[in-house]
A = this chain, B = another copy of it.
Amino acid sequence: MDITSITEEILQRIRPTDKERAFVNDLMNELEKLAGETIEKLGLDVKPHFVGSLAKDTFLTGDHDIDLFLAFPLETPLEELREKGLELGKAIAERLDSHEVAYAEHPYVRATYRGVKVDLVPCYDVESWRDVRTAVDRSILHTRWVNENLKGRNDEVRLLKRFLKGVGAYGSEIYVRGFSGYLAEVLIVEYGPFLNVLRNADLILRKKIIDPGNWLKREYETAMNTIRREAGEDRPLIVIDPIDPRRNVSANLDWEKYGRFYFKAQAFLENPSREFFFPQKPKMGDYLGELRRKGTHLVTLTFYKPDLIDDILLPQLERSARGFEKALTREGFGVLGWDVGYSGGKAFIMLEVDRIERGRIMIKPGPEFFTERAADFYRKNERVWLRGKRLYAEKRVKENIADVIPELLEKNRVALGKGVRERIKVVEVLVDYVPKGMAREAYLLLSRKKGGLKD
């Protein structure tokens, strides 16, 4: 199948239908009216703005959450904005189907109306980056910029977003670190259409700096500061936000996710198929069979899941997994891979290791011989020797990983995520066996189907 037939077919699947579009437009009109009435009733000086992919007409079919921003004048004190903003949100939401208060930098209202999620977010009515006071203030400017610059390439954004989702590189959440929707839009504006962005995956990485707002001409010092800061953080890309020279649009994109895009873009261009956009779920297999075939072992730590949202929990589980990787490597176990998640009220950290029994004796590095601690080390250990400046000794250690892990935890030798630290005190260590609810994850980890570049 040729590449255009494929993208055309994909577009049929992801482009909102006329009916859907009419429904959404209806909804937005209704909400705008409702908001206007409520603002008037409360005697406020607030402008309602639709932002996000609906307002930019870059949403994928079925994915139509509404973001209604309530813009207060710049003179409003922050306290007042928080208070009145929430009050206004609640007043609007009371006329919708249901709602609750959610918390980001400041509180906002999450409502549902006719089956659609509606976020009612107070913000400042900014005209320029110099006015930006809270994290959400840029959204109105983003929406305006995209609408002014996209020039009808909305479907190209849809293709790119769907491609990024398909290859597992979409989502700017902290535990994903992929491409954001806005980044996809900027890339289409700069390098579109869709296929061109794919073709330029290597060029984009090499250029490194994308400056659609021409800030390097208009605000040289500010833009250079952004570049220096972000280069210092070793980001794969530095996309200076066209509406704010202080911000890197791709600050949350990591090398791994760019790498996935990079490889998959090449693979798609060489051998196009629908699979890139809508991959089949990996066929399930038997994790015990994988273990037998590979001769490796699976160590699973389970403990009660802390009551945290994914945005917080998953990065902390990942941090803890890396902590175990480091600690176990130091202890003589080779860690081949890991995964984290939760299932049925239990959080888990899975580690693929090369052995579960190690030798009884390990070498313990001591202090340098001329330090104060050296005399102590010399006295306390039986077999002591020098290598270079440092003292070494033999130490007897626990052999089985199921004994080593609790010991490491007890002695505080594992760097753990904050939210995990308490719960993991009551840990269960499962070796070469997982509960049914985790069997799928175990298989995906061992077979490298999760996170692998080849399917």
Q: Which of B263, B337, B370, B453 contacts A202 (CB 8 A)?
A: B370
Residues of B within 8 A of A255 (CB): 369, 386, 388-389
Say yes or no for A394: interface residue by CB 8 A criterion.
yes
Q: Is the CB–CB distance between B336 and A361 below 8 Å?
A: yes
Q: Which of B359, B369, B399, B447 contacts A262 (CB 8 A)?
A: B369
Q: Which of B334, B370, B448 contacts A359 (CB 8 A)?
A: B334
Q: Given A205-B370, A354-B359, is A260 in contact with B448 using a C-beta cutoff of 8 Å?
A: no
Q: Is the CB–CB distance between B359 and A452 below 8 Å?
A: no
Sample of 26 A–B contacts (CB below 8 Å)? A255-B386, A255-B388, A259-B389, A262-B369, A262-B370, A266-B375, A294-B359, A294-B360, A294-B361, A294-B394, A295-B360, A295-B399, A296-B359, A296-B360, A296-B361, A334-B362, A336-B361, A354-B359, A354-B362, A355-B358, A378-B453, A378-B454, A383-B448, A383-B452, A385-B448, A391-B453
Say yes or no for A332: interface residue by CB 8 A criterion.
yes
Q: Which of B259, B387, B389, B447 contacts A386 (CB 8 A)?
A: B259
**Complex alpha-carbon distance, A337 and B337, angstroms:** 29
Q: Is the CB–CB distance between A263 and B363 below 8 Å?
A: no
Say yes or no for A105: interface residue by CB 8 A criterion.
no
Say yes or no for A382: interface residue by CB 8 A criterion.
yes
Say yes or no for A289: interface residue by CB 8 A criterion.
no
The residue in chain B whose Cβ has the minimal distance to the Cβ of A255 is: B389
Chain B CB within 10 Å, residue with most, of A295, A296, A453: A453
Residues of B within 8 A of A205 (CB): 370
Say yes or no for A100: interface residue by CB 8 A criterion.
no
Q: Is the CB–CB distance between A336 and B360 below 8 Å?
A: no
The residue in chain B whose Cβ has the minimal distance to the Cβ of A388 is: B255
Say yes or no for A384: interface residue by CB 8 A criterion.
yes
Chain B CB within 10 Å, residue with most, of A202, A259, A383: A259
The residue in chain B whose Cβ has the minimal distance to the Cβ of A360 is: B295
**Complex alpha-carbon distance, A261 and B388, angstroms:** 13
**Complex alpha-carbon distance, A333 and B448, angstroms:** 24
